[in-house]
Amino acid sequence: MKHFGSLFVEVLIAMVVFLVGLMAVASVLMFGLHSVARSGEKLKDEQSLVNEIEEYMASRIFSHTNSPSGANATCISAGKSFDIDGFTVNYSVYRYILPDKPGSRYYIIQREL
């Protein structure tokens, strides 16, 4: 018994299966590339946050007057103190954080009078 066109149908099915697989791999690849690109952007944001802290630290050491400022800096605790064998130090705690990346958070403590 002869089946005319059976090879054509087989090839067609194989091509459909192949294309579905190819599209799945392509979408994974695109997702991966997009993630890598987004990761690069986040890395830049994080580096600028670190630069912000470094600038604050450098200027604070010299001036003793400035405080953390900018959208990423928040005072999370004020009016605190610790005692070093009778020598009292008053301080506040500040947090630097990237809003869309909570893992990138840094803290500094600053002396208060």
Partner 1 sequence: MEEKLSFHRSRGVALLVLVLAAFVLLSVLAAVVFGVAMQTSKIENWQADHNDRLRLSYLARSSANTVIEAISDDLASLGASEAHPIDKKTSVKLTEADAVSLDIEITGDASPYLLVKTKASDGKAEPVTVTAQFNAVTKQITGWGGGQ
3 part of the interface to partner 1, by CB under 8 A: no
DSSP letter at 64 equals S
CA distance 84 to 59: 26
Angle at 13 between CA 31 and CA 20, to 5 degrees: 5
Cα 22 to Cα 38, 99, 103: the distances in Å are 24, 37, 35
Report the nearest approach of partner 1 to the CB of residue 1 (Å).
15
Residues 17-76 that bind partner 1 (CB under 8 A): 18, 21-22, 25-26, 28-29, 32-33, 35-36, 39, 43, 50, 53, 57, 60-61, 64, 76
For position 108 contacting partner 1 by CB under 8 A, the verdict is yes
Indicate the residue among 63 and 71 with the shorter CB distance to partner 1.
63
**Residue 78 φ/ψ region, left for φ over 0, alpha for ψ in the -120 to 50 degree band, beta for the rest:** beta
Alpha-carbon distance 31 to 9, whole Å? 33
Residues 77-96 as x/- pattern, contact with partner 1 by CB under 8 A: x----xxxxxxxxxx-x-x-
- The size of the chain, in residues, is 113
Count of residues that interact with partner 1, criterion CB under 8 A: 48
- Contacts with partner 1, residue ranges (CB under 8 A): 7, 10-11, 14-15, 18, 21-22, 25-26, 28-29, 32-33, 35-36, 39, 43, 50, 53, 57, 60-61, 64, 76-77, 82-91, 93, 95, 103-111, 113
